[in-house]
Structures are given as C-alpha cells and as structure tokens.
Homo-oligomer: A and B are copies of this chain.
C-alpha cells in the first residue's frame, strides 16, 4: 500500500516462467492498477505482455495509462491493432490521445479505423492541441446541462454519464450557445430540491482555463484556486473539456524536473533514459559551452604568464576566487528562479530583489574575505596581499550576485524561461569575469610593490 515499499517482481517472474496463467491472474487480481504498473516496469516487454493478457480490457487499459511513456510505447507495438483499439476505447480521451500519439503513423491509421467514430473524433481533436497546453491536458468527457434545466434533469444526465466520466466532480452549466455560465457540485444534486432550476442553484463565478494556456500556468491556476477539476473553454468562452488535478500533479513534477535538468545543464528527457548516447548528447552542449568558456579563461590567464611565473602564489587562490564566484552566482540564480516559478516575485519590484542579493553578497563577502585574509596572513605572513585578496573577493562576489540575480529576472521579463540562466551562462561568465578582475587587480598591485 505504501509507495516507498517497492514491490519485488521476483515471485511474479517465477509464475511467468512457469507458464502458470491462473497463478498470474490470482496474483494480480487484488492489486491496484498503479501497483501492477510498478511491477511491470521491472519486467521485460515479453513478460509484460504475458501479464497484460491475463487482465480484462478495462484493467489492462488502466495499467497501460499508468506506465511511463517508454514502457507503454514498447508494449503497444507488440499488441495487435484490434487489442490496441479495445484498450483505447476503455480509456478517458486524454489518456487515449497520449497513447495514440506514441504509435507509428501507420498503426495510428489502422487503429483509428477500428474505433467508434465518436471516440475517433475526440482523440483527433485532442491530438491537434500542443502537448504542453491546456488542450493537451484536458479530456473531452464532461457533464454539462443547460441553465434552464431542472435539478432532476441534471441528476438524470449525471446518471447516464456516470459510466463514461471518471472522477466526476462538477456538472458544468452552459447557456443556449454553449458558453460556460456556471457550475453545480455533485453534492448539490444530492442535497438540493429536484424541482429547483439549475440557474438558481448553480454557482456563477466559474474559474475557467483557456484551451491554449501553457501547462505551467494551468498548474498555477489549480494551485491557486484549490479546485480538483477546472473546465476548459475556447476563445468564445464555450465549454470544450475539463482538466483534473491528478494530471496537474504530473505537470508540476514535470516542470520541476525541467528546472532541475536546466540547472544541471541537461534536459529532462534524460530522466529514466537508458541509451548512454542520448544521455551524453543531452549533457554535452552545456559541458562544451562551459569548457570553451573556461578555455577562454586559460587564454586570458596566459596574458599574465610573466606575473604568474614571478608570483606563483597568485595561482593558488584562483580556484577559491572563481569557485566562490560560481557558488554565489548559482545561489542567487537558483533562488530567484524558484521564486519566479512559485510566483513569489512581483515583477514591478525587480530592482529591489537585485538590491537584496547585493546586500546579502556584501555580508557573505565580508565573512569569506575575512577567512581568506586570515589564511593569507597566517600562511604567507603578508597582510597587504591578504587585504588585496579580501577586496578583490568582495568585488568578484558583488559582480557574481548581480549577474546571478539580474539575468533570470531579465530573461523572465523578456519572456524567456529564466531557468536556462541557472546553468551555463551564469557559472561560466562568473568564472571568467571573476578571474579577469582578480588577475588585473592582483598583478597590478604586485608589480607596483
């Protein structure tokens, strides 16, 4: 029952190897379809097929919808067109469209021909929306009544629809042109008089999602309004579908994964990816960018070759200076990016936000510079060099904090995803700028003493 306990697929695999079909059926019967999906994830695709064939179509469809995209895709290619068609029929339209989009174009065509025309049209309609928009998240199944109906009529509509609509939460109320005008809760159907008019009982101020809204903004709406389901409307305010909160949890995790991946200079496609070539390809661009940036740093350093040969001690502190610049910049950038993602930053007060980072940087620079001074003083017995390094560090930290906080804010204002700033850009430029400041100041000082 608990998620963290990972069910071991060993005994299931033994049943499969023994060819014990009734045993497999018995084993899977009491399990939740999400738990079955977890188990299948640990098997290879031939074993998965054996298990799937022991489930009735409804359960098989549920399990397929729970599998991650790659496993689902692998399984679907091994099922016949007819079997895939039966499974798609059982699924809500959003899950069916997701599975359909993972088929080859030829298989899609053959399977579509097998579907009832209504299901086919629903799926085709959904496939036209961008995968990361409200349209790509929504399902077309929903229950709606006209505002001039009675509550009894609404109850009858719900009774008829109950089979097809999963997690029914709200009955949407539309006017004669199909525009969304209000909503009823299922509870209203239980507790309100059957003779009442829908328009007198319904709640009017309905929050609705525009069909072309980006998925992360849809997630923010759910998070803000605390609704389990929200209706989706087209440009004319007509009801076209609904989104359920369980899909929003996936969106929030997906968006967080994207931000984590950007922070590490890779893409979220690599999560769970097994091909090492694909993983390598998604990480290399940022590694190469960083590497070339540091290469420019090497060439920059070579211009100070004479000073460095004379004062080798200068080189000793380079990792401290650039490492700290990188850390300060990343801290500022990550915090600002997260605050932007959570909607905690008021875009009218960006200047204030950067100022706060500079103040924090000043405090941290004082402390770290003090440590550096102490190190230089007790190790090299050179107070002047210590003071110079303290000052240099403060300046480097200031620049790093400014870049780390202002770059994501500017990207956000220019409508570019600020998370890209947490990766290559801030780190490498802070390294190189920090080194330039350090070498310029330090060699100028040492030459004159």
Where the two chains meet, the residues of A that have a C-beta atom closer than 8 Å to any C-beta of B are 1-4, 6, 8, 30, 32, 34, 38, 42, 155, 158-159, 162, 167-169, 186-187, 189-191, 205, 207-208, 210, 213, 217, 219-228, 245-246, 248-250, 252-253, 256-257, 259-261, 263-266, 270-272, 274, 276-277, 279-280, 283-284, 286-288, 290-292, 294-295, 297-299, 301-302, 305, 308-309, 312-313, 315-320, 322-324, 326-328, 330-331, 333-335, 337-339, 342-344, 346-348, 356, 359-360, 363-364, 367-368, 371-372, 375, 379, 427-428, 431, 435
Contacts and interface: CB of A to CB of B under 8 A. Distances in A.
Contacts of A334: 260-261, 263-264, 266
A315 to B, nearest CB: 4
A250 B276 contact: no
A324 B253 contact: no
Listed from nearest, the 4 A-B pairs whose CB atoms lie closest are A264-B334, A226-B246, A3-B220, A256-B256
A21 B308 CA distance: 71
A437 B404 CA distance: 31
A190 B191 contact: no
A267 to B, nearest CB: 10
A334 B283 CA distance: 12
Contact of A2 (B30, B221, B347, B364): B221
**Main SS class of interface, A:** helix
A245 B227 CA distance: 9
| Chain multiplicity (copies) | 2
* Max chain B Cβ within 10 angstroms of own Cβ: one of A266, A274, A302, A318: A318
B270 A335 contact: yes
Contacts of A190: 155, 158-159, 162, 186, 189-190
Given A207-B32, A249-B252, A323-B294, A364 B280 contact: yes
6 contacts: A223-B246, A223-B250, A279-B360, A286-B327, A298-B320, A319-B431
A290 B329 CA distance: 14
B335 A261 contact: yes
Given A187-B162, A320-B294, A3 B246 contact: no
Contact of A288 (B288, B312, B367): B367
A342 B257 contact: yes
A364 to B, nearest CB: 6
* Max chain B Cβ within 10 angstroms of own Cβ: one of A190, A252, A333, A348: A190
Contact of A298 (B8, B253, B301, B316): B316
